[in-house]
Amino acid sequence: MKGPCSQHTHRHRLIQPSLTDLTAQLRRNSRKITASRQAILNVLRRHQHPLTNREIHAALAGFECDLATVYRNLNTLEEMGMVRRFDFGDGVARFELLTEGDDGHHHHLVCTRCSTVVEIEDCFPAELEAALAARHGFTQISHKLEFFGVCPECRVQKLA
Amino acid sequence: MKGPCSQHTHRHRLIQPSLTDLTAQLRRNSRKITASRQAILNVLRRHQHPLTNREIHAALAGFECDLATVYRNLNTLEEMGMVRRFDFGDGVARFELLTEGDDGHHHHLVCTRCSTVVEIEDCFPAELEAALAARHGFTQISHKLEFFGVCPECRVQKLA
DNA sequence: CTGTTGATGCAAATCAATTGCATTTGGTGG
DNA sequence: CCACCAAATGCAATTGATTTGCATCAACAG
């Protein structure tokens, strides 16, 4: 474990969805406002980094619920467009809370040693999507882009 | 299943590694030239698309070996830099044979319905890596980029 | 030909994620 | 405040990809 990676987040979400917004969004989708759901959303609201189901489950304060419930809820929240799922290729899904109207499209720079995550706004591939559509006849094109490398902390650790 | 996706490959590898090159590469890494190994490499040589362990195992002609052996061999071949692993986010690893000296860096456009794969040469993110290194102090930066969409065949199927 | 080392088969173990099922609970209309 | 229904949950069992322990085999170097 390394300390809180304060300075590591490049893109700071300006608007953090409020609890009332979130419950409204749930209600609109005829989803129940359960204690587990609120606890999970609170964990996500407190973290600006992508979290795994297990991490979310571990971070639940006060209210405990089954890990399966966390899994089910994150799938539901993803379907409703309230969270975005990321895949860093390590076989574990990670999630970030989205603000309404924001599709949360961005990418990450992940340290291959300590998994520190930096958010990246740049997204050249988006410019390519139209070209690819024209060239290959594909429609509804999207993409996933993740960067990997060794973060400054890990580099010095190696030297020490 | 759809027929052989002949015209789907955009980037055709000009040099397909020869069997002798491959065995030489194995020998150089003090790896034994076993029948399973040869059979696996032959499967990879015959396909220009990324294949899963299971697909490779199923495509083994004549020589049969355990699925665990296929898994072990692809890990070994990846370590040796003879194959490249791809991750389309569906929880299954895929592999492509590499030519020596070619790091096989490229990306894919995957149909979200039938999994048809088109190779993509364009790679804007590479230009970004240096900038990211400077901006965030990361080193040894690499990236993974995959495009997803609905291929022409699947689009018409939907209409039919 | 023979020893050493890597490779293999087979079964069991991991690990993330999902699911069946009985039970509980939020939200709604009385 | 009460009754009802759909959604949600706990718990255990399952799935599916991938890995691993272990005993046996087979390359290949000398």
Query: Residues A88-116: what's their mean pLDDT?
Result: 91
Residues within 8 A of A (CB atoms), B 21-50 only: none
- Interface check for A109 against chain B (CB to CB < 8 A): the answer is yes
Among B123, B147, B157, most A C-beta atoms within 10 A, so best to mutate, is B147
What is the average pLDDT score of chain B? 88
pLDDT digits (tens, 9 = 90+) for A21-69: 999 999 999 999 999 999 999 999 999 899 999 999 999 987 899 999 9
Angle, alpha carbons B1-B6-B10 (nearest 5°) = 120
Query: Residues A102-129: what's their mean pLDDT?
Result: 89
Q: Three-class SS of residue A112?
A: coil
Is the model's pLDDT at B12 over the cut of 60? no
Domain ranges in chain B? 15-102, 105-160
pLDDT given for residue A43 in this prediction: 97
For B15-102, CATH number out of 3.40.50.300, 1.10.10.10, 2.60.120.10, 1.10.3720.10 equals 1.10.10.10
Alpha-carbon torsion, ordered B36, B41, B45, B51, to 10 deg:
90
Judge: B142–A149 Cβ closer than 8 Å, yes or no.
Answer: yes
User: Among A93-97, A156-160, B51-55, which stretch is predicted with the lowest mean pLDDT?
Assistant: A156-160
3-state class percentages of chain B: helix first, strand second, coil last, to nearest 5: 40, 20, 40
Contacts 24+ apart (CB under 8 A), B54-57: B54/B92, B56/B95
- Which residues in chain B are contacts of A149 at CB distance < 8 A? 132-133, 138-142
Thinking of the domain A11-104, which architecture would CATH place it in?
A: Orthogonal Bundle (1.10)
Other C-beta atoms closer than 10 Å to the C-beta of A121 total 9
C-alpha to C-alpha distance for B40 and B56, rounded to whole angstroms: 7
pLDDT given for residue B15 in this prediction: 66
The reply to whether CATH 1.10.287.1770 applies to domain A105-160 is no
In whole angstroms, how large is the CA radius of gyration of chain A?
Answer: 17
C-alpha to C-alpha distance for B38 and B34, rounded to whole angstroms: 6
Is the model's pLDDT at B158 over the cut of 70? no
